[in-house]
Amino acid sequence: MKKKQNQPWWGLAFVWAGALVSIPSIILGGTLVSSMTFTKTLLTALVGYLLVVIIMIFQGMQSSDLAQPTVKAAEYAFGKKGSQRVISLLITIGCLGWFGIQANVAGDSFVKLLQAFNITIPVWLSDILWGLIMVITAIYGIRAVRWLTYIAVPYLIIVVIYGLFVALHTTSLQSLLNYQPQTTMSFANGLTTTLGGFALGAVIAGDYSQYTAKRIDVVKAAVFGVIPAGVLMIAVGAILAIAYQSNDISTLFVRVATPIVGGLALVLATWKVNVINAFSGGIAFNNLFGIPQKYQKGMVFGVGMVGTVLAIIGIMNYFEPAMNLLGAMVPPAAGVMCATYWVINKGKVNVNEVIPDYKWIGIFSWLLGAIIAAVPVVLSFFPNAPHIVVNPLTGIVVSLVAYLVLNKIVGKVENEEVEV
């Protein structure tokens, strides 16, 4: 029975826009403007989300054509088991990193909130507390996401609008245009950071577009859903950081309103998102290692606890490198899928051509692109290492070209061996 594909383009656009109206998007704006001028930050945001949209369009149209989620569409490039492992690996890594970042924000915000009542606790203890609350909610109360969303999103929007209103009354447009950061970031690094902020969402865009029947609807949803919301939230983060002379999200929200109002906004927003991070990460971890579903709750708890450890050791201090690493490792998967579906098969595939095991040329091509794109990011962790700048599209292009070359050389042999 064919899956119903009656999702309107504006419905899909709303889903993608909603994913970008978030704390990480605001943090990204503050991170970029701490090392870029305001105009360069906006330009970086615009170009970065254009790259995100390009990936989303090709990924989304493929799933729309096949009426299948990303992990199924990826089987043509990675094989059934290969797709399960590669996509699950990317989701697991992404969810772990995001859980740690969000738990760190919640923990720091809760400490500042308590300080309003003259109560002081260490940040690490707050991180553990909120990490546990978030992961327990994911295990025993996934339905709570609904009411958390109903409360957190409107509340966050109100606080952000209020903060923006106050900031624009204390900071003139000319001050924003004349702003000069104390440190500098290259345009390429800015693009990689922006891409990393939504890289995973771009690659798994097919999970949401599989219910949309027309390719043009996927295009409209990506363009009108991602670019305005993404650029706007980065602009908000940048304006708040300039106006209040800080890119510390917890400090910003406390100064925007009061410790109670701002801290509560951050705690609610991160709580809601991290329930999904823990839940999705646990499922992906199960798929990655073939763990029976009966252990799913244990895996959700494990992912949450690892994410909490990341929060305790201060992953928020490495927000930019973490985003750069995601921006390097995740997109090459889309390069392999694009090579298979759009270049080799001209936008059509035979459902009987899926390899049931691993399609090694796909896995190797992704890994090659991911490593080449990730090496400069890893080197940047070490002050004395050589500085190398890589275009954010490099990993995608390398993986795409590698797959096309390997398919010519060994692709037919690999397929024939599996058939025998």
pLDDT computed for residue 1 by the predictor: 47
How many CB atoms lie under 10 A from the CB of residue 385?
11
pLDDT computed for residue 242 by the predictor: 92
As assigned by CATH, the class of the 9-419 domain is mainly alpha
List, as one string, the DSSP characters of 124-157. Answer: HHHHHHHHHHHHHHHHH-TTHHHHHHHHHHHHHH
Token pair, residue 220, equals 């409209």
pLDDT computed for residue 383 by the predictor: 76
Q: Are 87 and 288 in contact (CB under 8 A)?
A: no
pTM of the model: 0.84
Q: Are 393 and 51 in contact (CB under 8 A)?
A: yes
Radius of gyration, alpha carbons of the chain: 21
Q: Are 297 and 137 in contact (CB under 8 A)?
A: no
Token pair, residue 211, equals 């219910």
Q: Where are the alpha helices (DSSP H) in 67-79?
A: 70-73, 75-78
pLDDT computed for residue 123 by the predictor: 92
Angle between helices 144-170 and 249-256 (to 10 degrees): 70
Q: Are 356 and 80 in contact (CB under 8 A)?
A: yes
Report which of 147, 106, 151, 99 is spatially closest to residue 126, judged by C-alpha positions.
Answer: 106
List, as one string, the DSSP characters of 258-281. Answer: -HHHHHHHHHHHHHHHHHHHHHHH
Segments of the chain with pLDDT less than 70:
1-3, 141-146, 351-352, 389, 411-420
Phi, psi of 150 (to 5 degrees): -60, -35
Q: Are 105 and 270 in contact (CB under 8 A)?
A: yes
The Cα-based distances of 410 to 86, 121, 362 in angstroms read 20, 60, 11
The Cα-based distances of 137 to 141, 164, 300 in angstroms read 5, 32, 10
Domain parsing of the chain, residue ranges: 9-419
Q: Are 339 and 205 in contact (CB under 8 A)?
A: no
